[in-house]
Structure formats: structure tokens, C-alpha cells
Chain A
Amino acid sequence: MKTRLRISVIAILVFAAMMFAAVLLAELTELPVYDDPFTISGLALLAFLTVICCFSKRWLTLKNCGFLICHLGLVLFLASAFVWYVWGSMGVMSLYAGGQSSRVAYEESDDGAVRTMEMPFAVECSGFEISYHPYRYTYAVLGGSGYEEKGTAELTESGFDCGRYGNVPAECAYGEDGSLKTQIQYENLLLTWDGEYPAVKQYAAEIAFSDGGVETVSVNNPAVHNGWKIYLMSYSAEMTDSGMATAVNFQVKRDPAVGFATAGLILCPIGTFLLCFRPRGRKEGGADGE
């Protein structure tokens, strides 16, 4: 028991040191150090030791539940990673609005060639929308020594809310040609826009499947269809034969081990909480060899 515990401590700390070296090596050399034999072997050793821990408890008492659940969760997650590595598939697909495809690019070989695979259905990008954060102006208030900067206010449909200094109607923000003014003077307020365009708030694409069904996907909201999961990754403006168009980039994934991974990610923290927060009626550790 104690020998196994010592081996576990050494394995955990050695693997931590390996990962520390890997992150620095990856940063310095940009080599794919995380799927090299050393890292995989380290993960395999940790998985092996964790599996042994799962079978180390002879009696399933309440005290041992946390121990078993957290180790089992870890094993399930690592097993799901293995299943995904062997049987899972993932690729990218780029579509213009109105475009349709069932072909997914999934690997780029050393000579730059892209391999593709076919999904059992086609995906059409039937719409794409981008929403932005509001324009932000700095406002200054006229005082005894001229204008004094007080804060920032966003341009909303009703205008600018400058707090206790008053509101500025939205129509004051636009010039005669409809463009945004860089400076707005309204009563005793002076609003200034630094010319910085607002950041993207969210973007979403509507996708239609050839075998029926329409879904909206956005960042953090993937669509699930017939065992495939479709993620909205990014977009880019590209020149096409008919002028500029927005290319919408999707990631497509089929993961047969998603249930194992989810179970692992739920069990691991639950087990750790049970293990670490269980009542402490006796002195911990020492030579109890648990």
C-alpha cells in the first residue's frame, strides 16, 4: 500500500515536471510535444496507477466513495480521450452564405495536401449575423476651468446615458450623411469618440441539414445532428468571383466517447469534494497508509 502511494507521488510529480518542460519546449520550438511518446507514456502511467487505485478499496463504505468516484472519473475521462483518439473524427468546413457541403477537411499532410471525409448529410449555411458591442464615447462636463472628463457612455437606441450629468439623444450622434460624429456637443456635455470601432459581441449562423432540420449555431452553442456536433469557429471576409463575401468556418466532430468524457468530468470533482470534505473525526494521514 505504502509503496504504491510512494510510486503515485513520484509519478504525479515527475509528470508535472514533464508537463512544465513541455509547455516551455512548445513555446520555444513550436514542436507538437504533447502527443510525443514521453507525454503519452506519462499519461498512460498515470491512468494505470489510477486504475489500480480504483481497485484498492476492499469495502465500499461511505468513506471510500469519494476516493473511488474521483479516481473512476479520472479513468473514464482518460479512457474517453483514448476512444476519441482511435475512433473519433473531427474536421473543418468553410461555407459562404447560401453554400452547402457534406465534405469536411480533417488533416493536412506534410506536403500541404488536405484530406477530406464525407458526412452522411450536407450542411447549408442559410444565414449569418454579427452583432457588435455599442459605440463608446468619453464624456466631459463644462466646468469653471473648461471641460473636465467624467467617464464613458455607450451609444444605445435611446442615446447616451451620462449618469447624473444627463442624457444625450441618439440623433445627436449622427451627421447629415448618417455617419457617426467624432465629437458631440450637447448642452454642457462634450462627447468624444476615439475612432475605435466596437468589438464583436456575438456571431451566429443558421444552418440547414439536407436530411431535414434547421439550427442556429453560435460561439458556445453548437448544433447536434445525427451524432455529429457542429461548432461555429470563426468567419472571414474573402474575395469571390461575385465580390466580397463572408466565409463562415465550422468545426465538425463525431465523438463516440462523449458520454464517458461527460461522466468523467462530472464524477471527478464530485469525488474530490466527497474525499476532501468528508468529516474528519480522526487524525489524518501518517502511517494509516490509505
Chain B
Amino acid sequence: MVNESVATALIIAGAAGYFASAVLFAAKKPRAAQPFFVSAWTVNAVIFIINWVSGGHAPFANMYHVLSVLPLVVLPIELFLAKTEPGLDWMKWAFPSLCGISLVGTLFMDRSLDWSLNPALDSPFFVPHVISYCVAYAMCGVSFIMGIMFFASWEKKDRCLSAAHELIRIAVPFMTLGMCLGAVWAEEAWGIYWAWDAKETFSLVTWLIYLGFLHLMRTKHRSTVANIVQMVGFIALLGTFFGVNLLNSVHAY
């Protein structure tokens, strides 16, 4: 059993590693940055394992769990993009930044490790549904950072928008998969694919906005309007992730 102070120390160490990596990437020192990123990711993986062992089930069931899993999906994607999209190397600093922000967020959540899994979550769809959304949300988070850079003019606008486009092209299939898995799961649990629950509807709004962005990127309006749409999509995503807990929803956790 690991007590809360150890968990807090690991979170702070992990977040510090991610931010150090982000600073080094931004300073164009990728050789120094990557080991920090991998080390922080390893610490993050230890937090994940502790949560799994302590809870006795896959740790995807509350906000603390999900925020500590979210950074874990980022490093594999960063490595994937390094292979497939070498043109995106310049914005690598955004990946560990998002991981650090996410891990710092866990410090503000209820970090109770003895969380009982309710019967509805005892399903084979639970883990792939959450992981799909984690991948999508992580990519949307990085694309939002690109959106801020677009307006802040720290980089060329075209470059920022293209990076956001590439990231959202990864996010949307995973978001679609997560939504479809959720629908199949709901049918197995309650007999209905879609219940118009507040979180479901918010996730539909988020998905539609990102679909709108992808369609928009195929027209000539590939500039400020498209960037605004993807940034609004991320605000809707935050509504889905955090805001809906304030509403009357079976998905509030």
C-alpha cells in the first residue's frame, strides 16, 4: 500500500520531468529533452501501476485516474509522429507540456485510491472506451496549444494550422471509436445505444465540431475560421470532460 504522500511526490516528480522536457524541446535540444520525457513517462507509468494495484481494477474510473492515464498515451503518439511526420519536430515541446499540465491537474482531484468499481463499469468495453478518448483528448489538447500559437504569432500560421490538422486527424478516429464503443456498451448495459445523457450529448457536440473542422480544412477556408473551430472544439471537449460533472448525468464521476 502506497500512501498519499508518496503518490504526491511521484506526481510532482513526473510533472517536473515533463516540464523540463518541454523547456529543452522548446530550446531546440531534443537529445537532452527526450530522456526527460521518457523518465517522466516512466514515473507516470509507476503511478498508473500503483493505482491499478491499489484499486484492484483498471484505473480509469475517476478524474484522478483518467488525468494520470492521459499523459501515458502521449509519448507513444509522439514517437509515432516522429517516424511518420518529421515535419512536426518543431512542435514537440507541446506534448510534454500537455502531459505536465494533466499530471498537475491530478493534484486538484480526489486521489482516493480505494475506489469501488460499480457494476455498470464491469465491462470489456470500459478500458478501450476510455483509452480511445484519452488518445483523442490528448491530441486535441496539443492541437489547442497549436491554436494558441496561431493567434500569438510565435510560429507561422500555416505551420500551426497544419500541425493542428495532423493531430486532429489522429484524434477524430479515436474519438469516433470511443463514441461507438460507448454506444455498444450502453446497448449491452441498458438496451439503448444513445440516451441523450448530458455527457453523451456534449461528446456528440465535440465530435461534430471536430468533424466540421476536418471538413472545413478541405475547403478554401483554411485559416482563422478553421483555427477558431478547432479551438471551440477543445472548449466543448473541456465541457464534456469536466463541465458535465456539474450537470445531471449518469457519466458524472
Which residues of A are interface residues toward B (Cβ below 8 A)? 2, 5-6, 8-9, 12-13, 15-16, 19-20, 22-23, 26-27, 34, 70, 77, 81, 90, 133, 136, 150-153, 162-163, 198-203, 218-222, 229, 231, 233, 251, 253, 261-262, 265-266, 268-269, 272-273, 275-277, 284-290
Contact = CB atoms under 8 A, between A and B. Distances in A.
A122 B154 CA distance: 69
A262 B181 CA distance: 11
Contact of B114 (A136, A150, A231): A136
A219 B122 contact: yes
B116 interface: yes
Contact of A220 (B113, B188, B192, B196): B188
Interface stretch (B22-30, B88-96, B205-213): B205-213
A220 B180 contact: no
Contacts of B119: 200-203, 218-220
Given A13-B212, A16-B212, A222-B188, 20 more contacts: A5-B215, A9-B212, A9-B219, A13-B209, A13-B229, A16-B204, A27-B247, A34-B196, A34-B201, A198-B116, A199-B116, A201-B117, A202-B122, A220-B120, A221-B188, A261-B187, A265-B183, A272-B176, A285-B218, A289-B218
Interface stretch (B40-48, B62-70, B167-175): B167-175
A284 B217 contact: yes
B196 A26 contact: yes
Contacts of A90: 191-192
Main secondary structure of the interface of A (DSSP, over half): helix
Q: Which 4 pairs show the lowest CB-CB distances between chains A and B?
A: A151-B1, A16-B208, A219-B119, A199-B116
A261 B193 contact: yes
B3 A151 contact: yes
A269 B132 CA distance: 11
B225 to A, nearest CB: 10
A200 B119 CA distance: 7
Nearest to A262: B184
Contacts of B116: 133, 198-199, 201
B73 interface: no
B189 A20 contact: no
B173 A12 contact: no
A229 B205 contact: no
Interface in B212-248: 212, 214-220, 222, 229, 236, 247-248
14 contacts: A9-B219, A13-B229, A16-B212, A16-B236, A19-B208, A26-B198, A27-B247, A151-B3, A201-B116, A219-B122, A220-B122, A272-B176, A276-B169, A276-B172
A150 to B, nearest CB: 6
